[in-house]
Amino acid sequence: MPTGTLTANDAVIRVDSLRKTYGDLVAVDGVSFEVARGEVFGLLGPNGAGKTTTVEVLEGLRTPDSGSVSVLGVDVVKDVDAIKLRIGVSLQTAALYPKLTVTELLDLFRSFYPSGRPTDELIELMDLGEKRATRTKDLSGGQRQRLSVALALVNDPELIFLDEPTTGMDPAARRALWDVIAGLKSDGRSVLLTTHYMEEAEVLCDRIAIMDHGKILESGTIDALVGQHFKERAVRFDAIDSLGDARLTGLEGVTSVQRDDGVVVLYTNDVPATIGGLLAATDELGVEPANLAIRRASLEDVFLDLTGRALRD
């Protein structure tokens, strides 16, 4: 097998012990993961977790301090130019020439590559038809984001990096972009995306990695991650001042207690006993638990458990 080619089962991204510092700040601290061909892989984490730095090393925009990074079977540090033809990139901030129109910008980027997709097809795909003659500075946030994704597809890439692609989009536009990403996957392309949105990861990603403080805390399929962390179910309600953690932990069936932003989540392996105990306790205090709900643990819970904070924008 000649170097640089891959079989269908090979990894399109292989990161091993990647490390990147800026002065004293360790942005990425020994990260390792792989993305298989045809997979949509999600990097999740709060702001400053090191997601963007990781992605930018993979895109050849930053040089790692140490570790090995191969993209499409090519060492990024050694031969970044060979990769650029075959990847598509949408940066976290859509960087567009403000005075060019949608069509002009797509045509311009298309001219950087020897082959690619026709501009009209991309405009159609990203639903920018009505805006084709609009200058990019006059586009809305969501439209800019869609144009940024369209620009990532001009060279018909095998692997696409999307850094926070749906930020600033309304729910309808977000769902439309999810369809586009699902379409890329069904074409056999691979996608690495970073996101703030749990739902987005749950809908799109075959596998995810949760990052915080420059490290990957966990990775795997969402079901596996949830199952691994929570055999329990979650009982949530609005926090009550007089009801402390000591009392809650003592309730029957409760394995752990999480608090975030005025909401208490009890993880329990015996829902009826926990609810019974909770209601008895609140009765005693003369209050009622507001917005009481029972659900299965989700990715959100895994995230909260791992990082101690909720993931939202």
Question: Shortest gap between Cβ of 116 and another protein (angstroms)?
Answer: 11
Nearer to another protein by Cβ, of 90 and 219: the residue is 90
Question: Shortest gap between Cβ of 152 and another protein (angstroms)?
Answer: 9
Q: Which residues bind another protein (CB under 8 A)?
A: 59-61, 81, 84-85, 87, 89, 91, 93, 95-100, 104-105, 107-109, 111-113, 135, 151
CA separation for the pair 39, 19 (Å, rounded): 24
Nearer to another protein by Cβ, of 77 and 100: the residue is 100
Nearer to another protein by Cβ, of 165 and 253: the residue is 165
Nearer to another protein by Cβ, of 161 and 197: the residue is 161
Residue whose tokens read 């996957």: 185
Residues 6 or more apart in contact with residue 43 via CB below 8 angstroms: 51, 54, 55, 192, 193, 194, 195, 208, 209, 211
Question: Shortest gap between Cβ of 55 and another protein (angstroms)?
Answer: 11
Nearer to another protein by Cβ, of 33 and 109: the residue is 109
Q: Packing angle between helix 222-229 and helix 299-307, nearest 10 degrees?
A: 60
Residue pair 154/122 in contact by the 8 Å Cβ criterion = yes
Question: Shortest gap between Cβ of 119 and another protein (angstroms)?
Answer: 12
Tokens read off for 141: 């946030």
CA separation for the pair 66, 290 (Å, rounded): 51
Question: Shortest gap between Cβ of 190 and another protein (angstroms)?
Answer: 16
Nearer to another protein by Cβ, of 48 and 244: the residue is 48
Residue burial 154-167, b: 16+ Cβ < 10 Å; e: rest = bbebbbbbbbbbbb
Question: Shortest gap between Cβ of 95 and another protein (angstroms)?
Answer: 4
Question: Shortest gap between Cβ of 252 and another protein (angstroms)?
Answer: 55
Nearer to another protein by Cβ, of 163 and 200: the residue is 163
CA separation for the pair 168, 45 (Å, rounded): 18
